[in-house]
Amino acid sequence: MRTGGTEARAHGGTGRILAVPLCRRARLLSLVVPLCLWAPVPAALHAQQPIGVGEARDIVSRLVETYGVSGHEGPVREAVIRLLPAWANPTVDSAGNILVRAGAGDPLTVYVAHLDEIGFAVAAIRENGQLELRQVGGFFPSLFEAEPALVHTAGGVVPAVFVPRDSVGRSPQRNPGALRADPGTGSRAGTEALGVRVGDAVTMPKSFAGLAGTRATARSFDDRVGSTALLLALRHLDPRRLRHAVLFVWSTREETGLDGARFVAERVGATEHPARVYAIDTFVSSDAPLELKTFADAPLGGGAVVRAVDNSSVTPPALVDSLLELARARHIPLVAGTTNGGNDGSTFTRFGVPDVGLGWPLRYAHSPAEVIDLRDVVSLADVVQLTAERW
């Protein structure tokens, strides 16, 4: 999830109090008619098998162990395409987004999760072979100081280290300032001989690890969990049973300005008039030991979260209510809340498309030690599938 954006007021709480049945609220709000699209919930869904924690773990672990700094999403894009169901017919647009269409008829609904992750890019190569780095996305650079590094060149990965600061001075600061990476060559020529070029992406190594119960840690769950949820939903829904057209998008360069999604919005939003766009992205949670609890307190393991208010969009309350009601009827854990950050769906709103943010609670966002509960990934995928089929 992008860290920037304008500030929003904190509304507090998880939003459960907003879970008023849509049609009751409709008496209060005049914009309700298009929102009563969802039909009475049938006894069983069309899914062949319920989505399970094991399947979620398998997919998300593969995706988080693939690298894709903003603008360098190729490996993640390839991994997602490999994991699509056989019936899917993906296309890749000129912005690098993956698009999968299913179903037919109006209204079109759009789902967007992003492929990219935070990291660095090589800004310059010094005479001593070290790399000056430019930060890509919003995060604390101190979390990368004195850690192993990987330079992603056209010819492959070159290992290096993020250089510790030379000295701390009399008044030590948390922030190390601009970071450098050292590939250990000792010279510019040696570094260039390894294939390193200005513009190459630089990351820390990363891996998936299970914690107690259904918890897990890795870097770049933001937004590989969203990408996983779209994959899981597609693998479990029956495209022949869809009541209207859906478009699933895995977008590029979200962390640097929602660029990939904007590209899609300008083409689809203006011409196909989607009924809704669902931004499937992190709900940065304050369910963590160092956070203030004044808002964003969605507990890990409590299920998916409607990102009703963030820094880039406000979901129409009637839509929030409707979605909560639908999930409740299907016994899918879903709460509503407010957190910080921007989301890809906000690029559609200027085309008159309501933005429904859907996320899962994440601890320690944009750090090497992000933590999730896999049950929330399942819940999120269930909500995506449910909305595609029934809302």
Partner 1 sequence: MRSRSRSALAALACALVAAPAAAQTPAAGPPLDSLVVRLANMSAVTGLEDAMAESLVAALPGAVTDAAGNVVVIRGSGDPTRVALCPLDEIGYVVGAVTPEGYLTLRRVGATFMGPLYDQFLEGQRVTVFGSRGPLPGVVGVRSVHLTRGRPSASEEPFNLDNAYVDVGATSAAGVEALGVGLLAPVTRAKRAHRYGADLVAALDVSARASCAALLEAVMRMPAGGRGTAVAAFTRRRNLRWDGGSFVVISHAHGAAASDVVLLGEAGAADSLGAGTVVAARDSLPAARGFQPATAWSLPTRYARTPVETISLRDVAALATKLEAFLGGQP
Under the binding rule (CB under 8 A), the answer on residue 187 touching partner 1 is no
Under the binding rule (CB under 8 A), the answer on residue 335 touching partner 1 is no
Measured distance CA(52)–CA(49) in Å, rounded = 9
Q: At its nearest, how many Å lie between partner 1 and the CB of residue 324?
A: 23
Measured distance CA(355)–CA(111) in Å, rounded = 10
263 vs 283, beta carbon nearer partner 1: 283
Measured distance CA(320)–CA(354) in Å, rounded = 11
Under the binding rule (CB under 8 A), the answer on residue 104 touching partner 1 is no
Under the binding rule (CB under 8 A), the answer on residue 75 touching partner 1 is no
Under the binding rule (CB under 8 A), the answer on residue 338 touching partner 1 is no
Under the binding rule (CB under 8 A), the answer on residue 74 touching partner 1 is no
100 vs 365, beta carbon nearer partner 1: 365
- Residue 183 CB-density burial (10 A; 0-12 exposed, 13-18 middle, 19+ buried): buried
Measured distance CA(136)–CA(202) in Å, rounded = 9
Q: What is the DSSP letter of 240?
A: G
Site for partner 1 in 251-290 (CB under 8 A): 284-286, 288-290
Strands (E), 192-291: 201-203, 209-210, 215-218, 246-251, 276-280, 283-284
* Per-residue binding letters, 138-177, with partner 1 (x by CB under 8 A): xxx-xx-xxxx-x------xxxxxxxxx--x---xxxx--
* Per-residue binding letters, 284-323, with partner 1 (x by CB under 8 A): xxx-xxxxx---x----x---------x------------
Under the binding rule (CB under 8 A), the answer on residue 130 touching partner 1 is no
Under the binding rule (CB under 8 A), the answer on residue 211 touching partner 1 is yes
Measured distance CA(298)–CA(291) in Å, rounded = 12
Which residues, in sequence order, are bridge partners of residue 150?
159, 203
Q: At its nearest, how many Å lie between partner 1 and the CB of residue 83?
A: 18
- SS3 (DSSP) at 13: coil
Which amino acid is located at 235 in the chain?
A: R
Position among 184, 239, 257, 316 found at the interface with partner 1 (CB under 8 A): 184
Which residues, in sequence order, are bridge partners of residue 69?
117
Which amino acid is located at 152 in the chain?
A: H
Residues that bind partner 1 (CB under 8 A): 1, 3-4, 7, 65, 138-140, 142-143, 145-148, 150, 157-165, 168, 172-175, 182-185, 205-207, 209-213, 215-217, 284-286, 288-292, 296, 301, 311, 339-341, 362-369, 371
